[in-house]
Amino acid sequence: MQQKFIRNFAIIAHIDHGKSTLADRLIEKCGALQSREMKAQILDSMDIERERGITIKAQTVRLDYKAKEGNLYQLNLMDTPGHVDFSYEVSRSLAACEGSLLVVDSTQGVEAQTLANVYQAVDNDHEILVVLNKIDLPSAEIENCKAQVEHTIGISADNASLISAKTGLGVDELLEQIVHHLPSPQGKENDPLKALLVDSWYDQYLGVIILIRVFDGKISKGQKIKMMKSGATYTVESIGYFTPKKIMVNELSAGQVGFITAAIKQVSNCLVGDTITDDKNPTPKSLPGFKKNLPVVFCGLYPASDVDFEHLKEALEKLCLNDSSLHYEQESSSALGMGFRCGFLGMLHLEVIQERLEREFDIDVITTSPSVIYKIHLQDGKTIEIHNPKDMPDPQKVAFMEEPWAKVTIFVPDEYLGNVLNLCNEKRGQQIDLTYADKRAMVVYQVPLNEIIFDFYDRLKSCTRGYSSFDWQMDEYQESDLVKLSILINGEASDSLSSITHKTRAESRGRAICQKLKELIPAQLFEIKIQAAIGAKIIARETIKALRKDVLAKCYGGDITRKRKLLEKQKEGKKKMRSIGNVEIPKSAFIAALKV
């Protein structure tokens, strides 16, 4: 097909503004699936996506659309996630497209993630079409929404498409807008092959399947290709695209999106963002690829059973192929055995990975307390980065510590503004900006990342009754009064329960963990002391009383000195046991303590 009849575009929006439902209507109107084959959110293929009602993986689909003037167009649509934790999926999809449909819920208006996604589209030089969704609802405020788009984003909304993705109202007009207002690709078919590796996933029969966007040249069956970053070469075995059914073809040319297989077994050779070219006639310059994604939340993942360690390692390798924003490295813990230190883009990302490990690979995992990357400036002038509390150097060698701060943007109705300001201040936040658009406030704060990753989102939704929207991005590192909180069991430090926290929060957190462990560690024949400490200073303590064996049970009467002798003997035995006895902390106690 000629490039002038191809349109590559992504659907971007805030969570629940109707991206996946709009994708359903576009598939239906273009006749890619019959009505009996349709189901809601057809592109959300994972069970976890359908259960949670969110998009996690960006999906692509090719549609054929006959315009009113009679020309047949090829539409390559990418449905993207809306949640901030999956913004990396959005950036990858936008790099493979020339245009974007910006979907705005006409009952809610512009939200935090709407802004974040628009800025990404602008960075990729996209032509943006504004689409106002849910206009069939009585609470729709179309003129207000148009004003918000123009005032907050700075894009003209005069020609905005008014649609209802649920009923299909206005979708035919939107298709005409797509083919007449979005640009066509500008690749050169006669140049050497230059294709972008957008995504990849593992199939146990075919090996690695690669999703690509061809920028220049052609890719054909039997062609020998080369990965420019890894230098690996393969022979293309099959080529196809999704409608969303798999359709096999012999070649993909400049401007098209599809998938290839080439009997790739080495997962490490498929780097997302790599450029694929012809082995004999390579392109002289590779594509810029994607900006390297940096994890912000770290925690340990350990198998509940030690025999599952190798299985967990294989599972993480395969998940990394499908989700390039996941990072992991091997580590060990005295309490939990061998495991991995993993990096995530946020707490929802962590939850999804944990759930996918349990569902797709049948591995029961234990997750340690999440932490972020801290910068430690030593007395000798060196700077080190740590995300595991056990790597913390001796406090006497530390000059000062810095923690990451995030720039938080919150849209909230006026009546809940006080609750939001109180929450941000409680989380050690610093206000940057406060503006109004209609009856909604846009609050911009700087908040320590450590305070965001735990319960910030849940508490924000609670104090605004779900009417707020929230987006954050990494800002800068600032000096902070941070300490390592150690948990000691009978004087022995437990690395798995240690954490880095702000000095003002250390005592309350230490006390809560000690109280929880007291409830969960079974009593022994000797006394167990549980302590929270900062360096050599004990800030909280709980004691589990010793179980008392009745050594006098068989003494019927007789001299009192005999009873005293038995009690003294028992006392000496307990003293000896306390000096050599080990306390085995059940894994259930670890998990409960980490939830504190």
Integer Cα distance of 81 and 10 in angstroms: 11
Integer Cα distance of 200 and 566 in angstroms: 72
pLDDT band at 596; cut points 50, 70, 90: low
Cβ atoms of residues 188 and 236 within 8 Å: no
pLDDT band at 277; cut points 50, 70, 90: very high
Give the phi and the psi of residue 480 in degrees, each rounded to 5.
Answer: -150, 155
Spatial strand order in the sheet of 161-162: 59-66, 72-79, 6-13, 99-105, 127-133, 161-162
Average pLDDT over residues 97-122: 85
pLDDT in tens, 401-417: 999 898 888 888 888 89
Integer Cα distance of 164 and 323 in angstroms: 32
pLDDT band at 250; cut points 50, 70, 90: very high
Judge whether 297-367 and 484-595 match in fold: yes
Average pLDDT over residues 342-348: 79
Average pLDDT over residues 71-99: 77
This prediction has a pTM of 0.70
E-only strand ranges, 3-115: 6-13, 59-66, 72-79, 99-105
Average pLDDT over residues 327-347: 79
Residue 283 CB-half CA count within 13 A:
27
Q: Is the pLDDT of residue 126 over 80?
A: yes
Specify binding-site residues for GTP: 16-21, 133-136
User: What pLDDT is stored for residue 88 in this prediction?
Assistant: 63
Task: Give me the percent of the chain exceeding a pLDDT of 70.
Answer: 85
Give the phi and the psi of residue 422 in degrees, each rounded to 5.
Answer: -65, -45
Query: How deeply is 203 buried, as exposed, middle or buried, from its count of CB atoms within 10 A (0-12, 13-18, 19+)?
Result: exposed
Task: Tell me how long the chain is.
Answer: 596
Vertex 387 angle, CA 383 and 389, to 5° = 100
Integer Cα distance of 393 and 379 in angstroms: 11
Among the listed residues 430, 437, 593, the one whose alpha carbon sits nearest the alpha carbon of residue 519: 593
Average pLDDT over residues 126-131: 91
Average pLDDT over residues 480-496: 82
Among the listed residues 48, 587, 86, 85, the one whose alpha carbon sits nearest the alpha carbon of residue 368: 587
User: What pLDDT is stored for residue 320 in this prediction?
Assistant: 79
- Map tokens 């993909």 to a residue: 252
**Residues 6 or more apart whose Cβ sits within 8 Å of residue 577:** 524, 525, 526
In three-state form (DSSP H/G/I as H, E/B as E, the rest C), the secondary structure along 163-195 is CECCCCECHHHHHHHHHHHCCCCCCCCCCCCEE
Average pLDDT over residues 256-266: 86
pLDDT in tens, 31-73: 776 665 555 555 545 555 445 555 555 578 888 988 888 889 9
Integer Cα distance of 354 and 446 in angstroms: 29
The residue with greater pLDDT, 420 or 473, is: 420
Cβ atoms of residues 517 and 529 within 8 Å: no
Which of 76-90, 96-110, 386-400 is the most confident on average? 96-110
Integer Cα distance of 303 and 510 in angstroms: 26
Lowest mean pLDDT among 31-40, 196-205, 346-355: 31-40
SS3 35: helix
Lowest mean pLDDT among 187-196, 464-473, 582-591: 582-591
Integer Cα distance of 508 and 485 in angstroms: 11
How do beta strands 257-261 and 251-253 pair? unpaired
Question: CATH for 194-278?
Answer: 2.40.30.10
Question: CATH for 484-595?
Answer: 3.30.70.2570
Among the listed residues 452, 453, 448, the one whose alpha carbon sits nearest the alpha carbon of residue 347: 453
- Map tokens 């995504």 to a residue: 199
Q: Classify residue 43 by its DSSP letter.
A: T
Among the listed residues 272, 301, 299, the one whose alpha carbon sits nearest the alpha carbon of residue 57: 272
Classify 297-367 by CATH class.
Answer: alpha beta
Residue type present at position 302: Y
**Phi-psi label, residue 125: left if phi above 0, alpha if psi -120 to 50, beta otherwise:** left
pLDDT in tens, 209-227: 888 889 999 999 999 999 8
Classify 374-480 by CATH class.
Answer: alpha beta
pLDDT band at 295; cut points 50, 70, 90: confident
pLDDT band at 583; cut points 50, 70, 90: low
Mean pLDDT estimate for the chain: 81
User: What pLDDT is stored for residue 319 in this prediction?
Assistant: 81
Structure tokens at 422: 């109180």
- The terminus-to-terminus CA distance of the chain in angstroms comes to 59
Cβ atoms of residues 150 and 163 within 8 Å: no
Alpha-carbon 193 to chain mean position: 33
Architecture of the 3-181 domain: 3-Layer(aba) Sandwich (3.40)
Give me the residue spans of the domains in the chain. Answer: 3-181, 194-278, 297-367, 374-480, 484-595
User: What pLDDT is stored for residue 580 in this prediction?
Assistant: 46
Average pLDDT over residues 109-136: 86
Average pLDDT over residues 118-132: 88
Specify binding-site residues: 16-21, 133-136
